[in-house]
């Protein structure tokens, strides 16, 4: 499957637009189902915009109870890439461009390709919640302390520790 977007191919395409379908598991992610993405790449003069929808299921570990759970990936991708140097081209010429709230522009630094596989890998990881919790009823800390009684035997030395305050 083609995962590299050539800027030359994009520039020479009809309406300077290419469509991609991605449907495979991404290495480095614990994918339950393949990651499916319908993407559209457009050349916008000095920029390339890649938009589309990304879906799939990955296996995550709960931050509270450490159990594995399936997480549904479903988000809209909207990425901008600069064909030239952002700082040099736009500060010297006085040109302005607008980016949406939360959107970043990636400088391609003269590269003539965009790695779609890497873009999807990074986008999926960034779509994960900050706190990964298996469910609203997760017992979390109770699960770790009461039911499984997880203690480290090396810490038993502190059970008989007595501290004498200074007079």
| Tens digits of residue pLDDT in 74-95 | 999 999 998 876 544 444 444 4
Residue 82 has a pLDDT of 87
Instruction: Determine how many CB atoms are found less than 10 A away from the CB of residue 130.
Output: 5
List the end-to-end C-alpha distance of the chain, in Å, as a whole number.
76
Q: Are 85 and 74 in contact (CB under 8 A)?
A: no
- The whole-angstrom separation of Cα 112 and Cα 83 is 8
Q: What is the pTM of this model?
A: 0.73
- Domains of the chain, by residue range, sit at 4-158
Tell which residue, 127, 120, 149, 107, has the closest CA to residue 24: 120
Strands 105-107 and 113-115: unpaired
Residue 139 has a pLDDT of 78
Low-confidence residues of the chain, pLDDT below 50?
Answer: 87-96, 147
């Amino acid at each position: 499957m083609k995962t590299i977007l050539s800027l030359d191919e994009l520039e020479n395409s009809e309406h300077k637009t290419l469509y991609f379908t991605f449907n495979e598991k991404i290495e480095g992610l614990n994918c339950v189902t393949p990651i499916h993405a319908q993407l559209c790449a457009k050349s916008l003069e000095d920029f390339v915009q890649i938009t589309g929808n990304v879906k799939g299921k990955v296996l995550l570990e709960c931050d509270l109870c450490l159990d594995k759970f399936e997480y549904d990936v479903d988000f809209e991708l909207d990425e901008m890439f600069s064909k030239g140097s952002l700082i040099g081209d736009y500060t010297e010429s006085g040109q302005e461009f607008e980016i949406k709230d939360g959107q970043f522009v990636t400088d391609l630094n003269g590269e003539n390709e965009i790695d779609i596989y890497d873009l999807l890998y990074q986008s999926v990881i960034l779509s994960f919640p900050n706190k990964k919790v298996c469910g609203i009823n997760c017992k979390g800390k109770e699960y770790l302390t009461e039911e499984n009684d997880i203690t480290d035997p090396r810490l038993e030395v502190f059970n008989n520790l007595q501290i004498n305050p200074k007079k």
